[in-house]
Amino acid sequence: MRSDPGICGKIKKLIIMGGGCRQTNTTSAAEFNIWKDPEAAQIVMTSGCEILLVPLDSTHSLCGNGGEQEIQRVRNAGGNSGGGSSGCQD
């Protein structure tokens, strides 16, 4: 972005896994990707591109309103994420 500022015009949306509110993985105020290279994070965040920032917190809970049926559906989906995600709701 620094070497070719026009690149943002070719990017529809940046979806970034970074940051955190209650869940962080480096310090009490930082998630690793942002902590490791804050200058790069600032360049990206101020680039003018549309950004969807997905915080680390989103990987630690499963939101839903389907109750036990939804939890069972996720659990039955198989794979590593189904069992792990539904376990957060138990």
The SS3 of residue 30 is strand
pLDDT tens-digit readout, 30-49: 678 788 888 999 999 999 99
CA count, 13 A, side-chain hemisphere, 11: 16
Q: Mind giving me the DSSP string for 34-79?
A: HHH-HHHHHHHHTSSS-EEEE-GGGGS----S-HHHHHHHHHHT-H
Domain ranges of the chain: 1-59, 64-90
| pTM, full prediction | 0.58
**Model confidence at 82, in pLDDT bands (50, 70, 90)?**
very low
The pLDDT, as a whole number, for residue 46 is 92
Please report, for residues 18, 37, 60, 88, the alpha-carbon distance to residue 82 in angstroms, rounded to integers and kept in the order given: 22, 32, 13, 10
